[in-house]
Structure 1
C-alpha cells in the first residue's frame, strides 16, 4: 500500500485496489504521449479544432459531439477515492485566512499537502506521482478553487507550469532525476519566463545563455520578474537566448550557484503564494539540462502554457460554485419587505446568470481536458477561450455574490472580498486576456486565410483545380440559398434544437464576416484590434454555446436527474449568446461603430498625449 492508499484509509474510506491505480496510471501515460506532441510538427494532418473551423464558417463536430466521457469505471473510482481526502484537507486543515495574514502557507499545511500528493498529481507512480490524467486533475483543481486560490496558485506554479516542461519534454534521464524531487522530495518548482521588458511579448526576452568554451555548460545571465514560487523554488524552468534569434528552455537548479531571489512582492490578492524577482549571474547550466531542443524555447513555453490552461477554468469553476452557494444561502434566508429575497426578480436574475456562467465554465474546461485525454492535438484556441471566459466569469460571479449579500458581502468575515482580490490576477497571468483574444482572432483568421488563398490560387489555374473549385462553388451556392450551412440540430437533444439552429446561423454569419474582413483588410487586419475583439468575443460565445448544447444533450441522453435544469441553463445561455454574437459581428461592418472606433482612437491619443484626463474643470 503506497502513501496515497494510507491517506485514503486515514480519511475513513476503504483502500483502493492496486490494480485500479495501475490501470489508471497506464491509461494516463498512454493518453499523455499523444497530448504532448506539437501540432505544428505535422502541418498536413486535418485540423479538428472546433474554433479554428468556425472561422471558415464550418462545423467540425469530432471533438464536440457527443460530450466526451473518457474516464473508465476504474478511473472514476480512483478519482472519487481522492475527493474526500482533498475536501477534508481544504475544509479542516488548510486555513486560508491565516495563510493570507501570514503572507505564506503554514509549514504544517505544506507538509500535509506533500503527504497527500497535491504536488505530484499527474506524473506517473514511478516518479512519485499519482498518475492522474487531465480530466482527473481538473476535478482536483475544482476542489482547490473552491477553498483557497492562493494555495491554488502555489500548486499551479509548481506543477501546471513549473515542472510541466520536464513532464512534457524531459528526456528519460531528466525525468528520472527531477520528477521524484518535485513530486515527493519536497522541492518546489517555478516557471521563469517574464522579464521587466517582456511580459506578453515573450519574443523580447533578454536573458542570455552562452555556451562555454569547453562546450559543457551554458552560462546564464539575466533576471525574471513576478515569478510564482520564485523565492522558495530550487528547480526552475528558465527561458533564455542562446543566440539573437533563438530562445531555449533550461532546467536550472538553485544549487548551481549564482541564483538569487528578491523579496516577496506585496500583492492585492493570492498573498500566501510566493512571488519574487529571480536573478541569474554566471549560472553554469550543464548542456544536458537543455529542455527540448536548442532554439525551441518559444515552442516549449507556449505548449506548457497551452497544456495547462484548461486547469484554470476547472479551478475557477470551483470558485464560482462556492460563491454561488454563499449567495444562495443568503437569498434563501434573508427576509426583506415581507419576503425572502430569493422571491424577487432582480435577485433571481443574478442567481440565474451566475449559475449559467459557472455551467459554461465547467463545461468548457472538462470538454477540453477530456479531449486532451482522448489524444486531441487541436485544443489551443479552445484552451485560450476557456482561460479568458473563466477568469472574467469568476470575477463577475464573485462580484454579484457580494451584491446579493449586500453589506454583509463587503465584510471580511464572509470571505468573498478575499476571493474577489484573489480572482483579479487570473485575467492577467498565464497570458493576459487582451492578448489571448488577439491570439484567438488572429490564429483563426490565419486558418481561414489559408483556405481563401488556396481558392485564389485555384482560380488562377481553373483547369488544374476543377475538383476543388467545383466543391467550393457548390458549397457557397448552397449556402446562399440556405442549404448546406451549419446544422448543429442533428447533434443535440430535441428540446435544444431551436437553440442549436440559432447558433448554427451564427456560425454561418461568423464565417462570412471573417471572409469579408479578410477580403477588405487582407494582412492589415492585424492592425484592426477593435474588429479582432469583436471576432474573438463572437468565437467565445459560439464555443461556450456549443459546449453547453453538447453537455446538456449528454444529460438528456443519460437521463441524468439534472437534465431538465441543464437544458434550461443551455436554452437561456444560447438564446442570449446568439443576440450578442450577431451584435458583435454587425459591429464589424457598421458605419456607426466604425465611427465609434475612430473616436475612441482619438480620445485615447489625446488622453495619452496629455498624460491624463484632458477636460476643463466645471468650476
Structure 2
C-alpha cells in the first residue's frame, strides 16, 4: 500500500517512460449534443486524457440550405469591398464615410447573428465565421466597427437578455439604426475586470440604478447608441455580508448623462471609432439589468468567450490575402536572374506562412462547428485560437513585407496598413499574456480538483485503496490505449494516412498530463506565481490543440475526397512534426535544471533593470 505522497511522486516521475493516454469518447450514433459537453479537448489535456468527442468528425455543420444562404451574402460582400470600399482613404481620414456605413447597414452587415425574428440575418456561428473572414481579408478596421457592435456590443442581449430586452433592442441594432458598444475597460482595470470602479446604486424606490464612472478605449464609444456596461453594485450574500460585485446593464445614450471623448489617435484600425465614455448620474431602469446583481463577471467573460472564434476567422482571412499577395509578387519579381518563387529561402517563408494559416483556419471552424452543435465547453479552445491566430497573422504579415522587400515598406503597397491594424489583436479582448495564464490556470484547476481526491485518499490509504488504484490505473496503464485505437476508417477516428501524427499527438498528451501533475505536486496553490512555467505549459497546450485540429481536418478531407486532401495531409504532417518537438521542448523546460536556472536568471535581470529604471549595464564608452 502507498504510505506517503513522496512515494506517489517518485512513482509518477517514472510515468513518461511508457505510453498511457486514456482516449475517451462518449459520443455514439444516437448521442445527443449535450453528451459532447464537458469534453473539451484542452480540458482533458490537463488530465492526461484525450477527449475526442469535439474533434472527430471535423465539423461539417452547414446544411445545403445554409450553404446556399451563405453564398448569397459572401459574393455581394466580396464585391462590395473590391469595388466600393476605399480602405486607404478611411484609414487616412480615420472614419468610414456615412454613405458607406449606410450601404453596409442595408446589406444586413450589422445584424449577422441576430435572429430573423428580430430583423437580423440569423447566421449561425459557422456562417458568421465565414463572413468575418471577408472582413479580415479587406479591412480589419471596419471589421472592428462591425465586431464591436455585434460580436461583443450586443452579444450580452442575445446570450442573456430577457425576451422583453431582445424585443426592445435587437431590431434596431440589427438594422444598424442603433449601434452598440461593450464597456468594461477602465483606466485602472485592463485585464483585471474585478478592479473596475464604475458603480451603480439602486434608488430607494428600487426602480432605477444610478450609474457613475468612466470607461476607456471603447470601440464604437463615440458613435454607439446602446452600451453593455459593467459596474460594481452592492450585493448581500447568503450570510448577510454586503460585497461589491460586478453587474451588467443595457444603457441607452438617450437616458442622458452619457458623454464621450474625442476619437483616440491609434497605430492601426484607424477607421474604427475608439473613445472614452463617461457616465454621470445616469438613471438606468431595473429592467435593463442583464441577469441578476453580481452576475456581471459571468456575462462579461462569456461574451468574450463567444466572440473569440470570430477573431480567428477574421485573421485567417487576413493571412489568406497576405499569402496570395506574397505568392503573386514572388512569381513575378526577378532577382539575380531568377524569380523569387524559385529561391529556397522564399519558399520556406511561404510554407511557414501557409502552415500558420492552415492551423488558424482549422481551429476557427473546429470551434464554431462545435458551438453550432450545442456544446458550451469551448472556452479554452477559443482562447487558444485568439492567441495563435493573432500571433500567426502578425508573423505572416511581417514575412509578406519581407518578401516584397522595399516595396512592402511603402505605404502605396498597402501591407504596412495591415501590419498596423494587426498589432491590436494581440492586446484587446484579453491580452495574449493573460489568455495564456487563463488557459494554464483554468486547466490546472481542473487537474487540481482531481488531485485533491488523491491527497485526501493518501491521508487514509487503507480505507481508500479503491481511489488510489483508480488514480494509478488512470495514469499508468490499466486503461492503456495506444494511438492505434484512434486511427481507423470510422468518422470519429483519424485516417491512417495521418497515423504518425496521431502517435505524436498521443505522446504530447501523455507528457502533458505528467507535467501537470508534477507542477501541481511541486507548487500546489503557489503555482499561480510560477508565470514563466505557466507560459511554457500554455505554449505546449496551444501546439497540442493545433495538432489535434489539423489531424481532424485532414482526416475529414481524406474521407470526403476533398480535391486538396493530399496537400492538407502534407500540411498536417509538417505541422505535427514541428509542433511535437516544440511541445516536448516546452515540457522539458518545466523540469530541466539548466532551463530553470535560465528562467531565474531572467527574473534577476528584469528586477535589476526595473530597479535601475532602464538597462543597468554601463555604456561601453562609460558615459
TM over 0.5: yes
- Written as runs of structure 1 = structure 2, the 5 A alignment for 1:215-614 is 215-243=206-234, 244-461=243-460, 465-478=464-477, 483-484=480-481, 488-490=486-488, 491-614=493-616
CA separation in 2, counterparts of 1:209 and 1:148? 37
CA separation in 2, counterparts of 1:186 and 1:474? 60
1:182-206, Cα deviation, whole Å (9 max, x unpaired): 1115211000000000000000010
> For the structure 1 residues 442 and 286, does the alpha-carbon distance in structure 2 shift closer, same or farther, using more than 3 Å as the test?
same
1:146-172, Cα deviation, whole Å (9 max, x unpaired): 000000000000000000001111101
> For the structure 1 residues 423 and 190, does the alpha-carbon distance in structure 2 shift closer, same or farther, using more than 3 Å as the test?
same
For residue 47 of structure 1, report the CA deviation from its aligned partner. Answer: 2.1
2:166 counterpart of 1:167: no
2:205 counterpart of 1:214: yes
| SS of corresponding position for 1:284 | strand
For residue 213 of structure 1, report the CA deviation from its aligned partner. Answer: 1.4
1:222-263, Cα deviation, whole Å (9 max, x unpaired): 000000000000100000011242110000011111000000
CA separation in 2, counterparts of 1:544 and 1:464? 42
Is the contact between residue 475 and residue 484 of structure 1 (CA under 8 Å) also seen in structure 2? no
1:576-618, Cα deviation, whole Å (9 max, x unpaired): 0001001000000011111111111111111111111112111
CA separation in 1, counterparts of 2:120 and 2:336? 55
| SS of corresponding position for 2:428 | coil
Is the contact between residue 127 and residue 183 of structure 1 (CA under 8 Å) also seen in structure 2? yes
Unaligned runs of 5+ in 1: 1-33
Counterpart of 2:63 in structure 1 is 72
Bigger Cα displacement from structure 2, 486-495 vs 275-284: 486-495
- Written as runs of structure 1 = structure 2, the 5 A alignment for 1:176-215 is 176-215=167-206
> For the structure 1 residues 475 and 326, does the alpha-carbon distance in structure 2 shift closer, same or farther, using more than 3 Å as the test?
same
Count of residue pairs brought into register by the alignment: 577
For residue 455 of structure 1, report the CA deviation from its aligned partner. Answer: 2.2
CA separation in 2, counterparts of 1:472 and 1:194? 43
CA separation in 2, counterparts of 1:485 and 1:599? 40
| SS of corresponding position for 1:59 | strand
For residue 338 of structure 1, report the CA deviation from its aligned partner. Answer: 1.8
TM-score (norm. length: structure 2) = 0.90
Counterpart of 1:138 in structure 2 is 129
| SS of corresponding position for 1:120 | coil
Is the contact between residue 136 and residue 143 of structure 2 (CA under 8 Å) also seen in structure 1? yes
Counterpart of 2:240 in structure 1 is none
> For the structure 1 residues 338 and 80, does the alpha-carbon distance in structure 2 shift closer, same or farther, using more than 3 Å as the test?
same
> For the structure 1 residues 485 and 471, does the alpha-carbon distance in structure 2 shift closer, same or farther, using more than 3 Å as the test?
farther
> For the structure 1 residues 609 and 226, does the alpha-carbon distance in structure 2 shift closer, same or farther, using more than 3 Å as the test?
same
Is the contact between residue 506 and residue 582 of structure 1 (CA under 8 Å) also seen in structure 2? yes
For residue 466 of structure 1, report the CA deviation from its aligned partner. Answer: 5.0
> For the structure 1 residues 220 and 59, does the alpha-carbon distance in structure 2 shift closer, same or farther, using more than 3 Å as the test?
same
CA separation in 1, counterparts of 2:494 and 2:331? 34
Is the contact between residue 173 and residue 180 of structure 2 (CA under 8 Å) also seen in structure 1? yes
CA separation in 2, counterparts of 1:384 and 1:293? 26
1:16-53, Cα deviation, whole Å (9 max, x unpaired): xxxxxxxxxxxxxxxxxx99xxx9xxxx9962110011
For residue 123 of structure 1, report the CA deviation from its aligned partner. Answer: 1.0
| SS of corresponding position for 1:408 | helix
> For the structure 1 residues 46 and 189, does the alpha-carbon distance in structure 2 shift closer, same or farther, using more than 3 Å as the test?
closer
1:429-460, Cα deviation, whole Å (9 max, x unpaired): 00000000000000001111111112222344
For residue 217 of structure 1, report the CA deviation from its aligned partner. Answer: 0.7
1:68-97, Cα deviation, whole Å (9 max, x unpaired): 111111111111111111101111121111
CA separation in 1, counterparts of 2:514 and 2:115? 46
| SS of corresponding position for 2:201 | strand
> For the structure 1 residues 103 and 185, does the alpha-carbon distance in structure 2 shift closer, same or farther, using more than 3 Å as the test?
closer
CA separation in 1, counterparts of 2:51 and 2:461? 28
1:516-556, Cα deviation, whole Å (9 max, x unpaired): 11111111111000100000000000000110000001000
Is the contact between residue 111 and residue 176 of structure 2 (CA under 8 Å) also seen in structure 1? no
2:618 counterpart of 1:616: yes
2:121 counterpart of 1:124: no
> For the structure 1 residues 347 and 488, does the alpha-carbon distance in structure 2 shift closer, same or farther, using more than 3 Å as the test?
farther
CA separation in 2, counterparts of 1:142 and 1:476? 41
Is the contact between residue 110 and residue 146 of structure 2 (CA under 8 Å) also seen in structure 1? yes
1:318-340, Cα deviation, whole Å (9 max, x unpaired): 00000001000001111112211
Unaligned runs of 5+ in 2: 1-31, 235-242
CA separation in 2, counterparts of 1:332 and 1:147? 22
1:118-174, Cα deviation, whole Å (9 max, x unpaired): 000011111110000000000000011000000000000000000000111110110
| SS of corresponding position for 1:426 | helix
Output the aligned Cα RMSD: 1.7
